[in-house]
Amino acid sequence: MSDFRHQTVSTNGIRMHVAEAGEGYPVVLCHGFPELWYSWRHQMRALAEAGFRAIVPDQRGYGETDAPQPVEAYTQQQLVADIVGMLDALGLTKCVIVGHDWGGAVAWNAALMAPQRIERVVGVNTPFVPRMPLQPTDVMKAIAQGQFHYVLYFQQPGVAEAELERDVRRSLRGFYQAAEDLLGTIDQSAPPGVFGPAGGGILDRLPDRPHGKFLTGDDFEVFARAFQRTGFRGGLNWYRCMDRSWEESAGLEHLVKQPALMITAEFDPVLRPELCVGMEAFVPNLQKIVLIKGAGHWTQQEKPAEVNAALLGFIADLRAYPGD
């Protein structure tokens, strides 16, 4: 990892760890749950080699970045403010923002909440979804119909932490399964996020076997050591703020106007490609939807060459602009 630079910046009342690679136009990459800056290692190298500056934070609640205790500290407004403050600390006016999983929500919301700071936006697996008429957990309860929905399971503070932190390595192995490992184990006919009958915990739905081959043993240890130190509370609090974020978004314009790229994964069990249908109505400058064949949820790690090609093709013309 000697090709990456590391620093800590002050932003929005917290200390944020930021990894970087390369020089040139800035590209900010936002990770999801349960991940770290390291999830973007393949893209960081590709961006640096192509003449861009990759900027990758451990987001609030993760890794070496601060993890405030209050649940309400993890709304989308706070998470976007973290990114804006990071840009300020680095002396940057604008950037391309890329987000996967929960990082995708931050990317789309940054485009809405701080449009003057976002040149272009890229969603990886996470589509842009306009504000719903009902709060998110009510929608999920209606979808679940009394069955197990992992997001609803994550809502009660302490419950998922106790389960996941009992054996951090087992928990992460269960999460970090590749597409080929999950074929036949996830019911694709069930609504996204619904994993069988009610009862039990998330690990009852995740296999207890080696992690996917997209991670080496050393890669896995980076994640395992980090979550053994921090636990999962910070990341879980993002889920617990869904309704708060929904309430705070009432006054926002729900139209992403920046040029955008959507990267989807063929076998993501939750963020399925079909969720992008009709997205052009709310993202009028959506340039392309790219389907990554054979990818599961961990798209940028499972299929880095394909993701890198799509990303670099979308921003190639910005190479001429060095950034601030």
As beta bridge partners, residue 9 has 16
Closest CA to 71 of 160, 166, 194: 160
Q: How far apart are CA 27 and CA 52, in angstroms?
A: 7
3-state secondary structure 3-16: CCEEEEEEECCEEE
Interatomic CA distance for residues 68 and 117, integer angstroms: 25
Q: Note if 254 is an active site residue.
A: no
Element (H, E) at 27: strand 25-30
Catalytic residue among 100, 101, 149, 268: 101
φ/ψ of 174, rounded to 5, equals -65, -40
Whether 17 is catalytic: no
Closest CA to 119 of 298, 306, 261: 261
What Cα–Cα distance (Å) separates residue 195 from each residue in 101, 205, 223? 18, 7, 25
Give 161: exposed, middle or buried? Use CB within 10 Å, 0-12, 13-18, 19+: middle
Contact (CB, 8 A) for 205 and 158? no
Catalytic residue among 31, 149, 211, 297: 297
Helix axes 168-175, 217-230, angle to 10 degrees: 120
Task: Please give the positions annotated as active site.
Answer: 101, 297
